[in-house]
Amino acid sequence: MRITGITVSNFLGLPHFQHSLTEPVLFVAGGNGDGKSSLLQAVRFALTGAMPRGVTKVADRNLLLTEGASKGYVQVEVDGNPVRRTVSTAKLTGDAPESPHLDLCLEASQFARLDDKDRRKLLFAIAGVKANGEAVSEQMKAQGIRADIIQDLLPRLRAGFEAAAAHARDKATEARGAWRAVSGENYGSTKADGWTAAVEVEEPDQAAIEEHATAIADLRARVAPLHAAIAKVEAMLPPDKLAELQAQADGQGKAEGDLAMAQQAYDDAAEAVAKLQAQLQAGATGGIPCPCCGKSVRIDGQRLVVASEPDGTDTQKVLNDLAAAKVRAHDANTQLQVARRALACAQAAASTLANLPEAPTDEELRAPDLLADVNQLLQQHEREHRALLDARAQHERAKHRTEQAARHHLDAAAWKLAEENLAPEGIPSILLARALDPVNATLAAAASVAGWRPAAVTRDITLTYGGRPYALVSESEQWRADAMFAAAIAQLAGARILMLDRFDVLSPLARGDALDWMDHLVAEGHVDTVIVAGTLKERPDLGEGVDVVWLGATA
C-alpha cells in the first residue's frame, strides 16, 4: 500500500496539512503539540474510519474537528487513488483499502492490547492457518484418529477444543467401563492390550466332535430295529402255550364229529318232545262246558270248537314221558353247545398256529443284549459329545469376550488419542505453532536487522521482548516490540504499510538503527510505506530514502 499524498483539514490539532510523499519512508518531526500524532491519526481515520482519543460515539465525532472549525476532512492518496473522509459525518469518498488488519499496522500498540482470543484469531488469520472443522479434521486424520471418531467430534468442535476433548475423555471412560464389564477385571492399557478370556478346558478338535456325532447317529439308527426284534421275540408263544394250541388244533376233527353227534342227539330229543306234546294234545279233552248248550268246547286258534271225546289215552303217562323227553332235549342242547365251543376253540387254535410269524433268528433272539450294549455305547458317545460341545461353546464365548474386550480397548485407546490431540498441547498447539512460527520468524528477522532483542509470541499467546514479558520491559523496549509486531502484521497480512508514533522514546543512538530497519523493510518489499513521527528539537537530516516533514513554527 503506497501512500503518495496526504491532505488534512481541521482534524484535531492539525488545522491544515498537505504533503506529497517523495520517499516510501515519511518522517514527521516537530515539537510537542505541533500535530504529529494528529497527522498519523488523521491518516488512520481516512483509511479505516477509526476515531482516536477515546471518541466512540457518532454524536461526538465533531470533537475531532480542530477547535473553532465547523467542518474538516482527510484525504490520502493510496496507490494513485484518493481516499477522502469527512470529519463530522465520516462520509467516505473513494475506495478505502480492504485489508482486514490494516488498523493494527496504523496504530502499533493495538496488538499488545488485544485479549488472548482476538490475538490468537489474528495470528491464525495472518499466518493463513485455518482452525475450522475441515482443517482440524485433516489434522486429526494426520494424527491417526479414526474416521468415525472424527465425525463424532466435528459437531462438538463448534463449541471449542475443550468441549470436544471433554467428550473424547467421556467416551474413553465409557469404553474402559465396557472393557471392565466384559473382562471382569480392572482396566489397564498394558493389561488390556492382548488380553484374552481364560478357558479351563482345552479347545476340542472339530474332527472328534464330528466323529462322535457320526457314531451317535449310527447307534441311534440301530435302536429301532433292535426294538422291533425284541417285540417280535416277545410276540412268540411259549412252548407250553404252543403245545396247548397244537393239541386244540389237532382235536378239530374229533370236535367236528362230536358236534355232529351232539346235533343228532339234540334233534332226536327235540323230535321226541314234539311227538309227546302232540299225543298229549290229541288224547285229552281239553274242553270246558259251554254256558249256552252245555257241550264240551275248546279253543282252536281263534275259534271256539266242540271238543272231541276222550280216546282213552293215559294222559298222566304221556305227561311223565314228555317231562323226561324235555330233560333229555335240554341235556342234548347243552352237549350241543359244548361241542360247538370245542370246535370253535380248535378252529381258533388252528388259525393262530397258521398265522404265527416266522421263528426269530439267533440275532433277533440276542436283541435285548445287543440293545443294552448299544444304549451303553450311545450314552458314552453322547456324554463325550456333550462335553466336547460344551468345551467348544466355552471357547466360542471366550473368543467372543476376547473380541469384545479388544474392541473396547481399541475404542478406549482411540478416544484417548483423540483426547490427547484435542488437549491444548495437541492439535491446538500444532495449529498455533503453524500460526506462530511465521510470525516469530518474521519478528526474529526484524530484530536481527535492527540489532534489537527479539520480540516473540509464546504458545500461551503471551508477548515477550528479549525473553521477558512485554508488560515488564521498559517503555522504549515496548516501542520496539510494538514496531516489530506491527511490521510483521503488515508484512504477513499484506497491508504493506506501517505507522509509528513516539519515535522520540528511543535514544538518539538507537534511532539510527530503527530508521535503517525501516529502510530495510521497504528495500526488501515487505512494506510500501512507513510513516513515523517523533518529537525533536530540530528538523533532522536523514539523507536519501527518507522524506522528512517538519511541523511547527520553526524548522
The DSSP string of 95-149 is -----TTHHHHHSTTHHHHS-HHHHHHHHHHHTT---SHHHHHHHHHHTT--HHH
Alpha-carbon distance of 247 to 406, in angstroms, equals 86
Torsion angle of the four alpha carbons 181, 183, 188, 192, in this order, in degrees rounded to the nearest 10: -130
CATH number for 3-99+495-551: choose from 3.40.50.300, 3.20.20.150, 3.40.50.10490, 3.30.450.20.
3.40.50.300
* SS3 state of residue 92: strand
**517 is written with which cell numbers?**
530497519
**548 is written with which cell numbers?**
522528512
Centroid of chain to Cα 20: 71
| Confidence (pLDDT) at 553 | 72
Tens digit of pLDDT per residue, the chain (555 long)? 899 999 999 888 888 999 999 999 999 999 988 889 999 999 998 898 888 787 767 767 778 788 878 888 999 999 989 999 888 877 878 888 888 899 999 999 999 999 988 998 899 888 888 777 788 888 899 999 999 999 999 999 888 888 999 999 999 999 999 999 998 999 998 999 989 988 877 877 888 888 888 988 998 888 888 888 777 766 665 667 667 767 777 878 888 888 889 899 888 888 888 888 888 877 654 555 677 776 656 555 557 666 555 554 577 888 888 888 889 889 889 998 998 998 898 888 788 767 666 666 767 667 788 888 888 998 998 898 898 888 888 888 888 989 999 999 999 999 999 999 988 888 888 888 888 999 999 999 999 999 999 999 998 899 999 999 999 999 999 999 999 999 999 999 989 999 999 999 999 989 999 999 999 999 999 999 999 999 998 888 887 889 999 997 765
Judge whether 377 and 219 are in contact, CB under 8 Å.
yes
Alpha-carbon distance of 493 to 489, in angstroms, equals 5
| Confidence (pLDDT) at 165 | 92
The pTM for the full model equals 0.60
Q: How many residues does the chain have?
A: 555
323-to-73, 154, 262, 276, 316 alpha-carbon distances in Å: 172, 127, 20, 9, 11
| Confidence (pLDDT) at 446 | 95
| Confidence (pLDDT) at 125 | 87
| Residue linked to cell 515539537 | 31
Q: Beta strand pairing status for 497-500 and 529-535?
A: parallel
Strands of 25-30's sheet in order across: 497-500, 529-535, 25-30, 546-551
| Confidence (pLDDT) at 308 | 56
471-to-265, 465, 483, 504, 510 alpha-carbon distances in Å: 155, 9, 15, 20, 21
Alpha-carbon distance of 8 to 76, in angstroms, equals 9
| Confidence (pLDDT) at 285 | 47
